[in-house]
């Protein structure tokens, strides 16, 4: 096979796969921008209502750039992040058994929006060693169809990839679900053995930033190794 044939195949791939991934990513940027606007409006309204309950409780939205947004609700901070790469489901995914993907493999190419849950004090006191947890992962394809990986209602409410579109209404439903889920889980007391000893450096830092590692345990982990990145 000569170089002319290789070049022809390269151009065919660029015209199909590379173009598709660009289309998916451009759509995801538009939807993420809409999601941030929806999130900002949602938090502004929620803040007014929370102040009537207890004015001491913080409810705040921050736009952190094109690919990030952050909201704080009382003791929790949620970070919304749009990944800049497009992914495809691994061969082992049960989604490949659906007629939706069998009829058109291109629909398996998705952008992802992650929502991470941190303790608000981890951000406030700049406790860089504190853990955050992946609360939900939203997949969006070129049809504007989506589904969500998540715990309990997060995975049950948004699992109709074949038919469900990421509309303004569903964006609000998604925002409501992740906020409800984050504030429903409390901070667990760490095992005594895990905090029985600290370094002198940590002790010296306590007066400044309370440098004992802390994080919410949500009883749930994503299998990141199952995610196949398309570069």
pLDDT at 193 over 50: yes
For residue 156, the enclosing domain spans 3-230
- pLDDT the model gives residue 194: 63
- Residue 224 pLDDT: 38
Q: Tens of pLDDT along 40-86?
A: 999 999 999 999 999 999 999 999 999 999 999 998 999 999 999 99
**Model confidence pTM above 0.95:** no
Mean pLDDT score of the chain, rounded to an integer?
82
Residue scoring higher pLDDT (89 or 217): 89
When divided into structural domains, the chain yields a total of: 1
C-alpha closest to that of 77 among 29, 48, 120, 112? 120
**Distance separating alpha carbons of residues 155 and 10, to the nearest angstrom:** 38
Q: State residue 186's pLDDT score.
A: 65
pLDDT band at 204 (very low <50, low <70, confident <90, very high): low
Selection from 229, 200, 198, 220 nearest residue 154 by Cα: 220
Strands 228-230 and 86-88: antiparallel
29-32: long-range pairs with CB below 8 Å, 24+: 29/66, 29/82, 31/140, 31/144, 31/166, 31/171, 32/67, 32/80, 32/82, 32/113
Q: Give 94's DSSP letter.
A: G
């Amino acid at each position: 096979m000569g170089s002319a044939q290789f070049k022809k195949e390269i151009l065919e791939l660029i015209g199909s796969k590379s173009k598709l991934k660009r289309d998916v990513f451009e759509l995801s940027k538009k939807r993420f921008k809409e999601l941030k606007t929806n999130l900002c409006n949602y938090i502004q309204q929620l803040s007014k209502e929370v102040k009537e309950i207890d004015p001491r409780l913080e409810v705040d939205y921050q736009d952190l750039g094109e690919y990030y947004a952050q909201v704080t609700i009382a003791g929790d901070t949620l970070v919304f992040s749009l990944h800049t790469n497009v992914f495809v489901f691994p061969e082992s995914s049960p989604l490949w058994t659906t007629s939706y993907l069998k009829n058109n493999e291109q629909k398996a190419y998705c952008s992802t929006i992650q929502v991470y849950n941190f303790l608000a004090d981890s951000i406030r006191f700049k406790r860089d060693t504190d853990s955050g947890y992946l609360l939900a992962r939203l997949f969006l394809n070129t049809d504007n169809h989506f589904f969500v990986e998540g715990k309990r209602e997060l995975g049950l409410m948004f699992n109709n990839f074949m038919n469900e579109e990421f509309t303004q209404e569903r964006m609000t439903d998604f925002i409501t679900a992740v906020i409800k889920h984050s504030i429903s889980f409390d901070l667990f007391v760490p095992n005594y053995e895990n905090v029985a000893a600290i370094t002198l450096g940590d002790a010296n830092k306590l007066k400044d930033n309370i440098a004992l590692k802390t994080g919410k345990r949500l009883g749930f982990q994503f299998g990141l190794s199952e995610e196949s990145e398309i570069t």
